[in-house]
Homo-oligomer: A and B are copies of this chain.
Amino acid sequence: MSKLTKQQTVESAWQRNAELGPFDFCPVRTTLNVLGGKWKLLVLSTLFEGSRRYGELRRLLPEITEKMLIQELRELELDGIVQRVVYQQVPPKVEYSLTEQGQRVQPMMAALVNWGQGYLTRTGAPPLPASLPPAQRNR
């Protein structure tokens, strides 16, 4: 993207990262580019159960800023992971759901969950934050 256009429009995450060079057809890099946002997997996990309106997502994921939520949704839409359907009503209604590509994330995420769980149980939660008393771990 040009340095001149300082304008901050939401882009496809793929596209945003696609100018870094010829490494971009690396499958892992692709996955990280498309799904690597701080909240994307969290949002997707909510959509595994079915489609949701924007407001529902907001209520289900209060730790995400509104700004971030739409931004992530917008990127996921541009990258073909979620589908956005607008109903022509007056208090507007927008429903988000997973595309086929989005559905395919589920087994992949299962692998992440699996590794993370193994790590947590095997290392006994945070590995050696020796500086903190153990009691503080669960804060």
Contacts of A31 in B (CB 8 A): 112-113, 115-116, 119
Whether A29 is near chain B, meaning CB under 8 Å from some CB there, is yes
Residue of B at shortest CB range from A23? B63
Contacts of A26 in B (CB 8 A): 116
B129 touches A101 (CB 8 A): no
Q: Which single member of B28, B80, B114, B122 contacts A113 (CB below 8 Å)?
A: B28
A19-50 CB mask vs B (1 if < 8 Å, else 0) is: 00111111111111010100001100100000
Whether A123 is near chain B, meaning CB under 8 Å from some CB there, is yes
Once bound together, how far apart are the Cα atoms of A30 and B45, in whole Å?
15
Q: Which single member of B28, B30, B63, B117 contacts A41 (CB below 8 Å)?
A: B28
B108 touches A114 (CB 8 A): yes
Whether A70 is near chain B, meaning CB under 8 Å from some CB there, is no
A-B contact sample (11 more), CB < 8 A, given A27-B113, A108-B111: A22-B138, A22-B139, A24-B126, A26-B116, A27-B117, A29-B116, A30-B116, A30-B120, A101-B118, A104-B115, A111-B111
Q: Please provide the 10 A-B residue pairs with the shortest distance between their CB atoms, ordered closest to farther.
A: A27-B116, A111-B111, A31-B116, A30-B116, A108-B115, A27-B117, A108-B111, A27-B113, A31-B112, A28-B112
- Chain A residues with a Cβ under 8 A of chain B: 12, 14-15, 18, 21-32, 34, 36, 41-42, 45, 63, 78-80, 101, 104-105, 107-120, 122-123, 125-129, 138-139
